[in-house]
Amino acid sequence: MKYILYFLAFAFIFASCKRNDDQDDDNPNLIYPLVNINLNLDLPEYNGLNFPGNSVILEQLGVRGVVVYNVNNDLYTAFDLADPNHLPNSCSTMDLEGILASCPCTTDSNTYDIVTGQHQSQPSTYPMQRYNAVRTGNSVRISN
C-alpha cells in the first residue's frame, strides 16, 4: 500500500510539471499553425539572409506571416508577425522597421524586438510567437 501512495504522489507531481515555463506557451490570442519550410539562400528572394542584419518576411506562413532575421550568420530568429497581445483582426499584422515590429492598431502602441521577440516597454505582456530557425549549409529551416 505504501508503494502505491508513493507512485500516486510521483505521478501527480510529474503530471503537473510543464515542459518549460515560457509565457508564450499560454498565449490565448494566437493559434500555433504548422510551420515547416527550407529557405534556399541561393534564391534571389532569400539572398538577403546571407548577410547579418537582414530580414525576410514570409507572408504565406504562420498566423500573419513570419519574419526571419539573420543575427550573425550562425544565429537566425523567426517570429510570427501577428501581435501576440491581440486576437487576430484586420489591424493585428505588425509592420517591420529595422529590428522592430510594431502593431498598427490605434488602441495601443505595441512594439517588439525581432531578435528577442520581447515587447519593448512592457515585459509582462506576451512575447512574439517564436519559430525554430536553423541554418544548415546554404539553407535555413523554419519549423515548430
Domains and CATH numbers, the chain: 24-143 (2.102.10.10)
List pLDDT tens digits, range 65-111: 999 999 998 999 999 999 998 888 888 899 999 999 998 988 888 89
Alpha-carbon dihedral sign for residues 123, 124, 130, 135: positive
List pLDDT tens digits, range 41-71: 999 999 999 999 999 999 989 899 999 999 9
The pTM score is 0.79
